[in-house]
Amino acid sequence: MRAVIVAIGVAFLVSLFCTPIAIKVFTRLKAGQPIRSDGPAMHQGKKGTPTMGGVVFILATVIAYVAGHLALTTLPDLQIAQVEPTITALVLLGLMVFSGAVGFLDDFLKVRKRNSAGLNKRGKLLGQILVGAVFGVVALYFPSTMTDATGAKTNTETVGSTTLSFIRDIDALEVSKIGAVIIFIFVVMAATNGVNLTDGLDGLATGASVMVLAAYALIAFWQYRHWCADPSYTQDYCYAVRDPLEIALIAGAAAGACVGFLWWNTSPARIFMGDTGALGLGGLIAGMAMSTRTILLLPIIGGLFVIITMSVVIQIISFRTTGKRVFRMSPLQHHFELAGWSEVNIVVRFWIIAGIGVAIALGLFYSEFLANMT
Annotated binding site for Mg(2+): 196, 275
Helices (H), the chain: 2-28, 54-72, 80-83, 87-113, 121-141, 177-198, 204-225, 244-265, 274-291, 298-301, 303-322, 332-338, 343-373
Query: For the chain, what is the radius of gyration of the CA atoms?
Result: 21
3-state DSSP of 313-324 = HHHHHHHHHHCC
User: Binding site: residue ranges?
Assistant: 196, 275
Q: Which of 241, 238, 214 is nearest to 357 (CA)?
A: 214
Distance CA 255, CA 68 (A): 14
- For residues 162-182, one letter each, b for 16 or more C-beta atoms within 10 angstroms of the residue's C-beta and e for the rest, the string is bbbbbbbbeeeeeeeeeebbe
Distance CA 239, CA 251 (A): 18
Residues counted in the chain: 374
Residue 271, classed as helix, strand or coil, is: coil
Distance CA 251, CA 220 (A): 9
- For residues 211-247, one letter each, b for 16 or more C-beta atoms within 10 angstroms of the residue's C-beta and e for the rest, the string is bbbbbbbbbbbbbbebbbbbeeeeeeebbebbbbbbb
Q: Give, as one character, the DSSP assignment of residue 14.
A: H
Residue type at 219 in one-letter notation: I
Residue 41, classed as helix, strand or coil, is: helix
Separation of CA 314 from chain center: 24
